[in-house]
DNA sequence: TCGGCGTGCTTATCCGATTCAGTAGCGCAG
DNA sequence: CTGCGCTACTGAATCGGATAAGCACGCCGA
């Protein structure tokens, strides 16, 4: 139970605590032989620096924060977050940086959490996800000078961002569907306040226009299964119903599959479905769902690496992650086709 | 950027830092008027205690840790964890305790993480999930004297546990199916090393025996969708195939639904399906899945509360959470029935 | 009038690391 | 043999709080 401190090691090695600190942190001031002796003793005794003491004298918490602003219900079924977190941690482990997590229902609460963490110096920096087009968190971060990495498009203001080309991915999906022969294509979008929803919607319109088509519909939702189901029902009830629908996440796309089947609309014979996120969920339904797929763990890892480099005093530019690629599965086919 | 410290407040209030500390921590040593003046100044300046300094002098990190030992892939689709975490945080927020999270692939790595956190005094205590029958983490926790709360059955040794009666829940599911007229019932279990898998399997056998039945089969899996699908395929291919299957989580149950449909086996007409966990997933497939449901967020909150009380010097007993209740949906019916 | 006792505050020490200003010892040039 | 410079180390201040010990003051009863 007695805590092992640097002075225990100093005593065992017969030197001062200053010497021990030099040795352990690899800085000049001790001879190579003494350094090795000290390191050996520290390792043997299983010494590890007390994070609080270290943080106090270095003015660094060696911890970063992630605030997720979503309701616990929708979070639960979104496979994205856990993968992203796991990816971040694989990178943070290298620099022995811990991850503080908070799940809150809205942005107001997330600003509170950020304020608390920063005021108490619990974190050195933050990862900001789910960026809104007008995001109330950014002015706060900027005015308080909090180092942060944005998960999303780079913005004026200099905060580094890690992003992938949503527009290109959406375009690929549209091109794919048009290539199959679809002309009436609808889009079931995510939260309209989110920046990447707006980017994707704009790209969707542009891609359709390039093919000389106009969208069958664009529906805003809140990413939930219920919203995806409802949107699908509405779209299929329309007089000139679409032959293909793209959904902004995997949860809603599977909802679409489920609703279509309940209504007796054949997937993919009468309706093709594409999901904007990929996860096991897309392979869990029948027919399996064609999706825009990318390596979410790597995405998380890149984000963490960018933040670490920012905290180390670097000025990392924004990092463009790989663009999602379309993985064709069973839910897409030529309109009116007989093959699954 | 300049940090606001307790001495800034002392200066503004014209008292010593000791007085400020007394006032802020609500302990005797200052008059009520001075206390109020100091509190007002602190609030006005937006002062918050530096977590490192506080942790150093109190020898408490005001942080608890949660190590999840699962692969990122399976974690992603398990809605359970995020809900549990959200529930924990609602409780931790009250005592201003932060949550440190680590996702690792196996127990060996999780012991490493625990060692690191404890040696560096980053956490005051831990939540331990996914208990194995023989769990390598427990002797480590015990020998190092790390305060911990187990999520699972209480064990000899005195660590408080928060649990719910898995045996009763499984029994309810079996009774329900037998009540519908099923006699050939199979069980697709989770990881066999997990304690609650063993408890449930034992309860399953006992409940079947009580009805004078013997299980059609008990299959061990790793909780993944693929394992659930494979188990279902195997069970349906058997000569005397079951008329009902209980699955240990929602992911596998939905896999079962999907496989049955692909094989042309009607659910629930020819096969009834019950999920051992409930989540939106169960309502996302068609037919919707009958499940053993409980309030996972409350479960997380109770766990956090127990840990906080333990850290405050209390000796909380183990807490038995509410037993999961069976929520009947479309995936269950009398064997050979024609109604959905 | 003095001792005794709270009350209300200050001062000093501690937590466990980092870090900087010294300093002892030694080799070597002048 | 003096002094300079270098290496290898020591001692002490510092980070920002918590807290125990100390002290001045006023009030009370004897």
What's the whole-number mean pLDDT along residues B82-106? Answer: 92
By C-alpha distance, which of B240, B132, B226 is closest to B188? B226
Calpha distance A301→A178 (Å, rounded): 34
A85 burial (CB, 10 Å; 0-12 / 13-18 / 19+) is: buried
B183 burial (CB, 10 Å; 0-12 / 13-18 / 19+) is: middle
How far separated are the first and last CA of chain B, in Å rounded?
A: 65
| pLDDT greater than 80 at residue A170 | yes
R_g of chain A computed on alpha carbons: 25
Are residues A71 and A212 part of one domain? no
Name the token pair of A95. 């620099």
- Does A247 reside within a domain? yes
| Cβ contact B179:B244 at 8 Å | no
Are residues B111 and B34 part of one domain? no
- Does B230 reside within a domain? yes
Please give the pLDDT value at position A100.
94
Calpha distance B102→A56 (Å, rounded): 23
By C-alpha distance, which of B326, B294, B327, B314 is closest to B151? B294
Are residues A184 and A276 part of one domain? yes
Residues of B in contact with A81 (CB under 8 A): 82
- Does B117 reside within a domain? yes
Q: Is A340 on the interface with B (CB under 8 A)?
A: no
What's the whole-number mean pLDDT along residues A181-203? Answer: 96
| pLDDT greater than 80 at residue A69 | yes
| pLDDT greater than 70 at residue A338 | no
Please give the pLDDT value at position A185.
98
- The chain-wide mean pLDDT, for chain B, equals 92
pLDDT band at A27 (very low <50, low <70, confident <90, very high): confident
Please give the pLDDT value at position B81.
87
- Does B235 reside within a domain? yes
Q: In total, how many domains does chain B have?
A: 3
Tell which phi-psi region holds residue A90, choosing left (phi > 0), alpha (psi between -120 and 50) or beta.
alpha
| pLDDT greater than 90 at residue A339 | no
What's the whole-number mean pLDDT along residues B120-128? Answer: 96
Please give the pLDDT value at position B290.
98
Does the predicted model carry a pTM greater than 0.85?
A: yes
Confirm whether any atom of chain D, the nucleic acid strand, is less than 7 Å from CB of B53.
yes
Calpha distance A96→A48 (Å, rounded): 12
Q: Is B236 on the interface with A (CB under 8 A)?
A: no
- Does B133 reside within a domain? yes
| pLDDT greater than 90 at residue A284 | no
- The chain-wide mean pLDDT, for chain A, equals 92
Percent of chain A with pLDDT over 90: 80
**Do residue A284 and residue B73 have CB atoms under 8 angstroms apart?**
no
Range of the domain at B305: 63-164+296-320
- Does A55 reside within a domain? no
Please give the pLDDT value at position B30.
87
Q: Is A159 on the interface with B (CB under 8 A)?
A: no
Are residues A275 and A173 part of one domain? yes
Residue A292 β-bridge partners:
A326
What's the whole-number mean pLDDT along residues B277-302? Answer: 91
Confirm whether any atom of chain D, the nucleic acid strand, is less than 7 Å from CB of B55.
no
Are residues A249 and A152 part of one domain? no
CB contacts < 8 A (A, B): 155
Helix axes B137-144, B107-119, angle to 10 degrees: 10
| pLDDT greater than 80 at residue B63 | yes
What's the whole-number mean pLDDT along residues B57-65? Answer: 95
pLDDT band at B179 (very low <50, low <70, confident <90, very high): very high
| pLDDT greater than 60 at residue B110 | yes
The closest CB to that of B86, out of A52, A103, A251, belongs to: A103
What's the whole-number mean pLDDT along residues A95-109? Answer: 91
Name the token pair of A108. 């107001």
| pLDDT greater than 70 at residue B33 | yes
The closest CB to that of A83, out of B46, B53, B72, belongs to: B72
Calpha distance A32→A55 (Å, rounded): 27
Beta B125-128 vs B272-275: how paired, if at all? Answer: unpaired
What's the whole-number mean pLDDT along residues B33-48? Answer: 93
**Do residue A297 and residue B1 have CB atoms under 8 angstroms apart?**
no
Confirm whether any atom of chain D, the nucleic acid strand, is less than 7 Å from CB of A17.
yes
Q: Which of A3, A46, A260, A284 to mutate to test the interface with B (most CBs of B within 10 A)?
A: A284
A43 burial (CB, 10 Å; 0-12 / 13-18 / 19+) is: exposed
CATH number of the domain bearing residue B306: 3.40.50.2300
Q: Specify the higher pLDDT residue, B337 or A164.
A: A164
Poorest-confidence range of A100-109, A215-224, A247-256, B68-77? B68-77
**Do residue A262 and residue B49 have CB atoms under 8 angstroms apart?**
no
List pLDDT tens digits, range B212-257. 999 999 999 998 888 999 999 999 999 999 999 999 999 999 999 9
Q: Is B96 on the interface with A (CB under 8 A)?
A: yes
Are residues A207 and A98 part of one domain? no
List pLDDT tens digits, range B295-334. 999 999 999 999 999 999 888 999 999 999 999 999 999 9
- Using the CA of B31, which nucleotide's C1' is the nearest one? C8
Confirm whether any atom of chain C, the nucleic acid strand, is less than 7 Å from CB of A54.
yes
- Does B177 reside within a domain? yes
| Cβ contact A189:A219 at 8 Å | yes
Are residues A174 and A288 part of one domain? yes
Are residues A285 and A180 part of one domain? yes
Please give the pLDDT value at position B224.
87
Q: Is A316 on the interface with B (CB under 8 A)?
A: no
Residue nearest to nucleotide C6 (CA to C1'): B29
| Cβ contact A159:A217 at 8 Å | no
Please give the pLDDT value at position B336.
84
The closest CB to that of A255, out of B80, B254, B284, belongs to: B284
Name the token pair of A223. 């990413």
pLDDT band at B340 (very low <50, low <70, confident <90, very high): very low
pLDDT band at B1 (very low <50, low <70, confident <90, very high): low
By C-alpha distance, which of B275, B255, B249 is closest to B330? B275
Are residues A192 and A147 part of one domain? no
Nearest CA in chain B to A226: B284
Q: What is the DSSP letter of A67?
A: E
- Does B332 reside within a domain? no
Please give the pLDDT value at position B29.
82
Measured in whole angstroms, the distance separating CA B337 from the mean position of its chain's CA atoms is 37
Q: Is A215 on the interface with B (CB under 8 A)?
A: no
| pLDDT greater than 60 at residue B104 | yes
| pLDDT greater than 80 at residue A337 | no
Calpha distance A271→A236 (Å, rounded): 9
What's the whole-number mean pLDDT along residues B148-173? Answer: 95
| pLDDT greater than 50 at residue A335 | yes
A126 burial (CB, 10 Å; 0-12 / 13-18 / 19+) is: buried
| pLDDT greater than 60 at residue A1 | no
Are residues B41 and B111 part of one domain? no
Dump strand ranges (E) for chain A: 63-69, 98-104, 125-128, 148-151, 161-163, 185-188, 217-219, 244-247, 272-275, 290-293, 319-320, 325-327
Q: Is the peptide bond before B268 cis (omega within 30 degrees of 0)?
A: yes
C-alpha torsion angle, residues B274, B278, B283, B284 (rounded to 10): -100
| pLDDT greater than 90 at residue A279 | no
| pLDDT greater than 70 at residue A340 | no
Are residues A197 and A99 part of one domain? no
Are residues B288 and B170 part of one domain? yes
The closest CB to that of A89, out of B46, B73, B102, belongs to: B102
Q: Is B147 on the interface with A (CB under 8 A)?
A: no
| pLDDT greater than 60 at residue A51 | yes
| Cβ contact A163:A142 at 8 Å | no
What's the whole-number mean pLDDT along residues A147-172? Answer: 95
């Amino acid at each position: 139970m007695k805590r092992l401190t640097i002075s225990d090691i100093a005593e065992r090695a017969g030197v001062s605590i200053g010497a021990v600190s030099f040795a352990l942190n690899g800085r000049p001031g001790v001879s190579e032989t003494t350094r090795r002796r000290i390191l050996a003793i520290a390792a043997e005794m299983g010494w590890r620096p007390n994070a609080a003491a270290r943080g106090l004298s270095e003015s660094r918490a060696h911890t970063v924060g992630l605030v997720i602003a979503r309701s616990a219900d929708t979070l639960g079924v979104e496979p994205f977050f856990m993968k992203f977190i796991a990816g971040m941690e694989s990178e943070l482990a290298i620099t022995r940086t811990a991850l503080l997590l908070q799940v809150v229902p809205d942005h107001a609460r997330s600003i509170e959490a950020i304020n608390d963490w920063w005021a108490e110096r619990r974190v050195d920096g933050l990862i900001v996800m789910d960026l809104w087009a007008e995001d109330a968190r950014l002015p706060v971060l900027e005015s308080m000078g909090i180092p942060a990495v944005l998960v999303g498009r780079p913005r004026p203001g200099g905060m580094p961002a890690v992003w992938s080309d949503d527009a290109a991915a959406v375009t690929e999906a549209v091109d794919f569907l048009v290539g199959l022969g679809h002309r009436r294509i609808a889009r079931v979008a995510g939260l309209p306040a989110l920046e990447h929803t707006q980017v994707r919607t704009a790209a969707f319109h542009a891609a359709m226009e390039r093919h000389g088509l106009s969208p069958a519909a664009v529906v805003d939702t809140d990413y939930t299964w219920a919203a995806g189901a409802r949107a699908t029902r509405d779209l299929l009830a329309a007089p000139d119903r679409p032959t293909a629908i793209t959904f902004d996440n995997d949860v809603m796309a599977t909802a679409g599959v489920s609703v279509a089947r309940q209504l007796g609309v054949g997937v993919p014979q009468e309706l093709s479905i594409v999901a904007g996120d990929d996860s096991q969920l897309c392979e869990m339904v029948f027919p399996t769902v064609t999706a825009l797929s990318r390596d979410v763990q790597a995405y998380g890892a890149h984000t963490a690496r960018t933040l670490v480099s920012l905290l180390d005093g670097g000025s990392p530019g924004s990092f463009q992650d790989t663009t999602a690629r379309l993985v064709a599965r069973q839910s897409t086919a030529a309109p009116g086709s007989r093959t699954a």
